[in-house]
Amino acid sequence: MAVQHDLIVIGAGPGGYVAAIRAAQLGLNVAVIEREPALGGTCLRIGCIPSKALLEASERYHEVSHGLEDFGVKVQGVELDLARMLKKKDAVVGTLTGGVAFLFKKHRITRYAGHGRITGAGRVQVEGDKPEELTAKHIVIATGSKPAAIRGVTFDGDRIGASTEALSYPEVPKHLVVIGAGYIGLELGSVWRRLGAKVTVVEYLDRILPGMDLEIAEEAERIFEKQGIEIKLDTGVTAARVDGNQVIVELGDKEPITCDRLLVAVGRLPMTENLGLESVGIALDPRGRIPIDEQFRTYVEGIYAIGDVVRGPMLAHKASEEGIACVEQIVTGFGHVNYDAIPGIVYTHPEIATVGKTEDELTEKKIPYNKGVFPFSANGRARALGDFQGRVKMLAHAETDRILGVHIIGPRAGDLIAEAAVAIEFGASAEDLARSTHAHPTLSEALKEAALGVLGRAIHI
């Protein structure tokens, strides 16, 4: 006999588990199907969280190893204990995935271990050690994404791998080659560069960080190269093969590269295999995503989709917001995500953060705008931190002064972008932000000054 619930969520990542919790808060009887032993999805287990733990640890190691004498701190005998660093990373992951399990228990969410496959309208089969048939009026697909591969390069789980393998290399590579100059490639390349590896980033396009504001990306490229990361643009990888403990990376008619680790970071693909979509007549779009309307509904009544399996940026927080909006739509009839106010962050050093429209997008769409730019080198707090590379760039509509986009490269950009996201969410103008009092001395004063710059009256530059 099938087990009945009000809502079944397939996938327990940042979209699925957040949707389940919100649905339980709204009074639904919720089931979640997850095939991995730990909850939290790619983000918590093998993505956002472990990578940030390694970024933080490697940055501290690099900072201590390469000099604090400007601060009057002398350090000797610094050693890298990679095994302990990786153990710390795993402990952070374990704590947070355990926290999700606690939240499921708190909200009385039923968890089924296995693979979820839709067998008909309102019906899902749990395939695993304990098969179950479930029924529910509403089904939310939140199965996330997986690393994309490229032709001519086969993952071997050791020398050639994706981000999962790069989070747990047993030793620091002598030479790491990264295919792809996006968020993941630059973050993990930065980790291993700080720990002593030679790092070469190979990018097919003529720029790094595609989709991000070009001026900010170009500044980031200069900074990364100063940090010792070699970047090869306009370069395609045609093949890669393992030769003993080395990898030979073929670059078409260019000189091949020999390295000891190869990280493929060319993006991610929706995980929609074996979900039973064909059983209910749901066809994928040309990019392998599940088509939805503005209320996250698929072609089929009662079936919804969120996160990396649908259109939009593949970001954990985007999935979470969609999960909340989706179940609120189901229960209350209201739920909304403002896609213009979703920030993106690259957790390198310096951090890079963006929200809203880029200058290229505004130019292409012929939207009139004013621009304000303020460098961290003129910010007192940044100077005191000894970390003053980068700038804040603000774009506002030339006629209404409404903030359209904010792009930051500099210290703690990932935290600073939150103010800009809130400003865009509430339709604030540059004048609004410029007239808001910012504590002194803080890094956030750079946003105020950029807003003043939009108006042509920056104070400290």
pLDDT tens-place string over residues 426-439? 999 999 999 999 99
pLDDT at 358 (0 to 100): 98
E strand residue ranges, 388-454: 391-397, 403-410
- Tell me the two tokens of residue 406: 């904010």
DSSP string, 388-405: ---EEEEEEETTT-BEEE
pLDDT tens-place string over residues 354-373? 999 999 999 999 999 999 99
Give the C-alpha separation, 444 to 41, whole Å. 33
Amino acid, res. 383: R
Q: Is residue 1 predicted with pLDDT exceeding 90?
A: no
pLDDT tens-place string over residues 187-232? 999 999 999 999 999 999 999 999 999 999 999 999 999 999 999 9
CB 257 within 8 A of CB 235: no
- Tell me the two tokens of residue 180: 């792809």
CA distances to 5, 128, 133, 135 from 119, rounded to whole Å, are: 16, 15, 9, 10
CB 328 within 8 A of CB 19: no
Please state the pTM of the whole predicted model.
Answer: 0.96
Q: Sorting pLDDT into bands at 50, 70 and 90, what band is 66?
A: confident
pLDDT at 67 (0 to 100): 77
Give the C-alpha separation, 224 to 226, whole Å. 5
317 is catalytic: no
Q: Which domains does the chain have, with CATH numbers?
A: 3-147+269-337 (3.50.50.60), 160-266 (3.50.50.60), 341-454 (3.30.390.30)
Picking from 262, 299, 295, 430, the residue whose alpha carbon sits closest to that of residue 356 is 430
User: Which three-class secondary structure state does DSSP give residue 4?
Assistant: strand
Average pLDDT of 2-26?
98
pLDDT at 157 (0 to 100): 87
Q: How many CB atoms lie within 10 A of CB 384?
A: 10
pLDDT tens-place string over residues 398-418? 999 999 999 999 999 999 999
Picking from 51, 281, 293, 308, the residue whose alpha carbon sits closest to that of residue 163 is 51
Active-site residue among 66, 336, 440, 460? 440
CB 121 within 8 A of CB 301: yes
CA distances to 81, 130, 184, 195, 346 from 198, rounded to whole Å, are: 19, 47, 17, 9, 20
pLDDT at 293 (0 to 100): 97
CB 65 within 8 A of CB 145: no
Q: Sorting pLDDT into bands at 50, 70 and 90, what band is 297?
A: very high
Cis-peptide into 147, omega within 30 deg: no
Give the C-alpha separation, 233 to 180, whole Å. 10
E strand residue ranges, 123-180: 123-127, 132-141, 145-147, 160-161, 175-179
- Cβ contacts of 237 within 8 Å, gap of 6 or more: 150, 152, 153, 179, 202, 204, 249, 250, 251
Give the C-alpha separation, 342 to 251, whole Å. 36
CB 208 within 8 A of CB 220: yes
Q: How many CB atoms lie within 10 A of CB 67?
A: 12
